[in-house]
Amino acid sequence: MQNQIKCLDHGFVKLLNLSGPVNRIPDSSIDLLTDQITMEGFQANDIDPALTARISFNNFDKERSRELDLKLVEYLIKNKHNTPIEMIEIWLEMKLPIFLARQFVRHRTATINEVSARYSILPEEWYIPEIVGGKPTNGMKQGQEDNLSSLIKEHFQKELANVCKENYDAYTYYIEQGVAPEHARLFLHVNNYTHWLWKQDLHNLMHFLSLRLDSHAQIEARIYANAIYTLLSIYLPESMKLFDKYRRF
């Protein structure tokens, strides 16, 4: 199954793991070339919130039909009984522009570990918008409209690419001259790419998606949110149907 989606020009979202309260043995197969076991799927399931909720009645292990469990999950999501939904954890790997990462860290319910430009040299990759947005004409202070001439768009893209290249060359030059990376990185732009691991429980990730999939969110944020939504829809399809029904604003 697919577990990675390309985003923008150099970015991506990759689903690394899903974990729930039940220790399941994934389906496995033998790679005949390496003799190694390769795992398919993750240790989480749409019914996990229902299993968690049943501990309240001391019958966590009691077997019920999947249909009954999914009905309970719907009840939980519909009525905002959030703790059982939080029992599913999601691990994501993302490569994204710095300006977008700084928007996403506002979601303080996520645990993030990011590549450090104090220790590592960031790659020669920066985001150039395929469609350059113009200032909105509806009085809004944020957002964009497709209202620029082709000439302005083309000049913007070329000049941005040139400036990023010049400053990246200065960044690497001064590192070679002995300047500490934590100071040399000051040459970099907010459209340079960063790279991180992101862990969040399903309830809070649904909240993240409800905000970042909204039509008022920045287009680049919606692209990453849609990639996350698409990946979760593969592995937690019933949960994401309930997200669409009850949590997507």
The residues spanned by each domain of the chain are 4-126+193-247, 128-190
pTM score, two decimals?
Answer: 0.91
Strands (E), 82-152: 89-97, 111-114
pLDDT exceeds cutoff 80 at 41: no
Residue-wise pLDDT tens digits, 99-140: 999 999 988 899 999 999 999 999 999 999 999 999 988 777
Counting residues of the chain whose pLDDT is more than 90, the rounded percentage is: 77
Determine whether 220 is exposed, middle or buried from the number of CB atoms within 10 Å of its CB (0-12, 13-18, 19+): buried
The more confidently predicted of residues 209 and 38 is 209
Strands (E), 126-241: 193-201
Whether the CB-CB separation of 213 and 248 falls below 8 Å is answered with yes
Task: Supply the mean pLDDT for the chain.
Answer: 91
CA dist 130 → 7, 9, 82, 127, 205 (Å):
12, 8, 39, 9, 28
Q: Which of 24, 64, 118, 212 is catalytic?
A: 212
Whether the CB-CB separation of 231 and 95 falls below 8 Å is answered with no
What stretch of H or E contains 31? strand 27-31
pLDDT-based confidence at 35, cuts 50/70/90? Answer: very low
Task: Answer yes or no: 212 catalytic.
Answer: yes
Give φ, ψ of 143 to 5 degrees. 95, -175
Residue-wise pLDDT tens digits, 205-225: 999 999 999 999 999 999 999
Tokens of 172: 């690497």
Q: Give me the sign of the Cα torsion angle 91, 200, 69, 22.
A: positive
Q: Which residue type is seen at 123?
A: P
What stretch of H or E contains 19? strand 11-19
Give φ, ψ of 200 to 5 degrees. -155, 145
pLDDT of residue 8: 98
Indicate the class that CATH gives domain 4-126+193-247.
alpha beta
The mean pLDDT of 190-198, rounded to a whole number, is 98
The mean pLDDT of 145-168, rounded to a whole number, is 96
CA dist 26 → 18, 48, 103, 116 (Å):
12, 15, 35, 34
pLDDT of residue 47: 94
Other C-beta atoms lying within 10 Å of the C-beta of residue 228 = 23
pLDDT of residue 37: 42
The more confidently predicted of residues 133 and 30 is 133
pLDDT of residue 43: 86
Residue-wise pLDDT tens digits, 47-75: 999 999 988 766 666 678 899 999 999 99
Between the two ends of the chain, the Cα-to-Cα distance in Å is: 29
pLDDT exceeds cutoff 90 at 23: no
Residues in the chain: 249
pLDDT of residue 31: 45
